[in-house]
């Protein structure tokens, strides 16, 4: 085969491979883009569901607070407004002083909560008190309303009604209500707050989506609660003209293709588990196609232009590469003829260098550098994803640890302010509640500061010679009081040999507080936590994990162990429990308080002393044992 044809064949193969690569990149981009869009809308639906859940929880908490308000709890309701026999043409509102104060409380709450339509209270005598006047003073018996009946069914809980229509307006409401019961358990009224679906629609419609998309809220029965088309509100999805919506109702979250309003929709949905409602992001099919297909079409055009340019360059460059060889062959033929004809010998002159080899070497070098750069980029991307995951976890965890005590402190403070004449016992209990949660915040901040010191490597130790025995007795005395409330005993080995160590005793006490506090948090009631200490010679050391860091050299060591009979630790988590902010399980649904820094801080302090900290457990429900190994001498 001629050299020119071989070069053309090589170029053709290169073009085909490049086209295959481009096609694979187009396919990969298509899949990746669809996945990004799916994750975006599922994430948006999830955040909406969480915001609605949080909003309703906030209203529940405030309704519970209202039910405990001294003014609201009054039994003197004979003079309250009554609509049982009201004539809307002749009715005149007349409020007593006590009722006006209740209306002021209700009105203030309504004005400060934009998603609440009204705050009200119905009484067993048929009276009805509301944050603002009704649209029309028609006959009205609160005892016959669904919110009143629901609250009476479970007088000890805050209840949430199914959506229902208002009497005097076209509003569709969701009631959050709590029964008022006396010491004898008899219900004498119900207090509640209404969230209208119109205001809920305003809340949901505020979420930013791709142009042409919107959000709908559907209840557990398939009834449309919110959406841009008011004609479809409070209708079942099939009556609203949606086909294929059954797939949405059958799943917890995901994406389904449905038809409605004369077009196809991609519906991304998330279920609010507590209410069974579906948060649905409706995205027109052509929008998804435009988002994904637009760039694909551009890549396809680029690929076709590339093929055309490649064929053109193939022809031009093949000539350019083969021409020097043709000239060389011509000169060689001329030389052979000159020799054959016995003409004078002339040198073969070739101008040019081994450019093909140089080009190959340059290409190979460039490829290696590009591959190395790509590997670094991939590693950095994975690190960024892990950091983003850690950031999300940290924000969620810190939000929980700071918000929970703040909510309790705020609630207790509001009750103290609103009920200045409450009994001393109640005030003392509320003050104690505030003190405990302030301490909880203080400990959380202290853990964050210690974690920062550990990570930055600026922890300073003030070592002195101290007694481990006295340290254990002090720790035992502290936790015996806390553990006694749950019938958990803190045991230490009686008598025993005096164990001395050179260490920062305050930091060492912090290590024991963190470890024993951790065991106490997870321990079951009526159980024991055993703490012991002993001196060991260098040659007697055993049981140290292979993955443990190096131990500071010493002739004698001190081994402290903390053993509990709690839920135990799975083998795969034995190392991770010492990671900063790590907690087993889902952070959103976690059962125990704390920011997950205690064991990490304890390990950093131990290692700063040249020691080791590790844990051992035979698995779930088999307890755990923590070991602190320290050099006896500094």
Within 10 angstroms of residue 479's Cβ, the number of other Cβ atoms is 21
10 Å CB burial of residue 81 (0-12, 13-18, 19+) is: buried
Work out the percent of the chain whose per-residue pLDDT is above 70.
Answer: 75
Domains of the chain, first to last: 68-199 (3.30.450.20), 354-456 (1.10.287.130), 459-631 (3.30.565.10)
pLDDT at 359 over 50: no
- Helix H or strand E segment including 537: strand 527-537
Query: At 322, is the pLDDT very low, low, confident or very high (cuts 50, 70, 90)?
Result: low
Q: For residue 587, what pLDDT is reported?
A: 44
Transcribe 544-570 into DSSP letters. Answer: --TTSPPPPP-SEEEEEEEEE-SS---
Q: What are phi and psi of 66, to 5 degrees?
A: -65, -35
pTM for the predicted model, two decimal places: 0.43
pLDDT at 47 over 60: yes
Tell whether the torsion through CA atoms of 387, 390, 396 and 400 is positive or negative. negative
Q: For residue 395, what pLDDT is reported?
A: 62
Query: At 358, is the pLDDT very low, low, confident or very high (cuts 50, 70, 90)?
Result: low
User: Of 50, 117, 110, 123, which Cα lies nearest the Cα of 84?
Assistant: 123
> When comparing pLDDT for 508 and 490, which is higher?
508
Using one digit for the tens of pLDDT, what is the confidence trace for 55-85? 888 999 999 999 999 999 999 999 999 999 9
10 Å CB burial of residue 190 (0-12, 13-18, 19+) is: buried
- Round the CA-based radius of gyration of the chain to a whole number and report it: 38
Query: At 591, is the pLDDT very low, low, confident or very high (cuts 50, 70, 90)?
Result: low
Using one digit for the tens of pLDDT, what is the confidence trace for 513-531? 888 888 877 777 777 888 8
Buried residues in 599-617 as b, exposed as e (16+ CB within 10 A): bbbbbbbbbbbbbbbbbbb
Could you give the CA distance from residue 555 to residue 409 in angstroms, rounded to a whole number?
A: 52
Which of 239-253, 288-302, 551-565 has the weakest average pLDDT?
288-302
422 is written with which tokens?
């409450």
């Amino acid at each position: 085969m001629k050299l020119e044809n071989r070069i053309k064949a090589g170029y053709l193969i290169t073009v085909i491979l490049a086209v295959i690569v481009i096609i694979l990149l187009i396919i990969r981009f298509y899949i990746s883009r669809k996945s990004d869009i799916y994750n975006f809308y599922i994430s948006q639906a999830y955040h909406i569901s969480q915001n609605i859940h949080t909003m309703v929880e906030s209203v529940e908490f405030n309704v519970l607070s209202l039910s405990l308000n001294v003014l609201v709890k009054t039994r003197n309701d004979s003079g309250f407004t009554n609509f049982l026999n009201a004539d809307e043409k002749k009715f005149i509102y007349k409020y007593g002083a006590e009722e006006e104060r209740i209306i002021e409380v209700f009105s203030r709450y309504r004005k400060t909560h934009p998603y609440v339509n009204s705050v009200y209270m119905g009484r067993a005598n048929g009276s009805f008190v509301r944050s603002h006047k009704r649209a029309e003073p028609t006959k009205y018996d609160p005892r016959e309303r669904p919110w009143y009946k629901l609250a009476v069914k479970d007088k000890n809980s805050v209840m949430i009604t199914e959506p229902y229509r208002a009497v005097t307006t076209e509003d569709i409401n969701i009631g959050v209500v709590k029964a008022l019961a006396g010491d004898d358990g008899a219900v004498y009224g119900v207090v509640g707050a209404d969230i209208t679906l119109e205001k809920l629609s305003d809340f949901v419609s505020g979420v930013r989506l791709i142009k042409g998309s919107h959000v709908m809220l559907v209840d557990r029965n398939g009834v449309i609660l919110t959406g841009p088309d008011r004609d479809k509100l409070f209708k079942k999805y099939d009556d609203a003209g949606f086909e294929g919506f059954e797939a949405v109702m059958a799943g917890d979250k995901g994406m389904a293709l449905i038809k409605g309003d004369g077009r196809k929709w991609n519906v991304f949905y998330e279920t609010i588990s507590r209410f069974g409602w579906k948060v649905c992001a409706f995205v027109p099919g052509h929008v998804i196609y435009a988002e994904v297909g637009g760039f694909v079409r551009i890549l396809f055009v680029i690929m076709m232009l590339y093929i055309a340019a490649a064929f053109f360059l193939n022809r031009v460059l093949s000539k350019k590469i083969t021409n020097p060889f043709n000239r060389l062959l011509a000169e060689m033929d001329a030389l052979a003829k000159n020799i054959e004809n016995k003409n004078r010998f002339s040198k073969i002159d070739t101008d040019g260098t081994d450019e093909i080899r140089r080009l190959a070497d340059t290409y190979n070098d460039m490829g290696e550098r590009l591959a190395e750069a790509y590997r670094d980029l991939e590693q950095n991307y994975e690190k960024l994803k892990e950091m983003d995951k850690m950031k999300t976890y940290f924000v969620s965890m810190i939000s929980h640890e700071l918000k929970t005590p703040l909510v309790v402190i705020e609630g207790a403070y509001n009750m103290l302010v609103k009920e200045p004449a409450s009994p001393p016992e109640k005030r003392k209990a509320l003050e104690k509640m505030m003190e405990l949660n302030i301490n909880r915040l203080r400990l959380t901040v202290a853990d964050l500061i210690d974690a920062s010191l550990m990570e930055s490597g600026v922890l300073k130790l003030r070592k002195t010679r101290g007694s481990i025995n006295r340290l254990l007795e002090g720790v035992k005395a502290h936790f015996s009081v806390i553990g006694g409330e749950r019938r958990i005993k803190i045991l230490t080995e009686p008598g025993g040999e005096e164990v001395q160590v050179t260490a920062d005793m305050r930091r060492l006490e912090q290590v024991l507080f963190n470890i024993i506090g951790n065991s106490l948090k997870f321990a079951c009631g009526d159980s024991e936590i055993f703490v012991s200490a002993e001196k060991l010679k260098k040659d007697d050391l055993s049981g140290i994990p292979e993955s443990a860091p190096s131990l500071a050299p010493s002739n004698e060591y001190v081994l402290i162990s903390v053993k509990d009979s709690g839920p135990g630790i799975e083998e795969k988590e034995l190392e991770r429990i010492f990671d900063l902010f790590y907690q087993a399980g889902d952070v959103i649904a976690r059962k125990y308080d704390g920011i997950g820094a205690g064991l990490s801080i304890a390990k950093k302090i131990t290692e700063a002393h040249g020691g080791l900290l590790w844990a051992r457990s035979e698995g779930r429900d088999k307890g755990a044992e923590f070991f602190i190994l320290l050099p006896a001498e500094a």
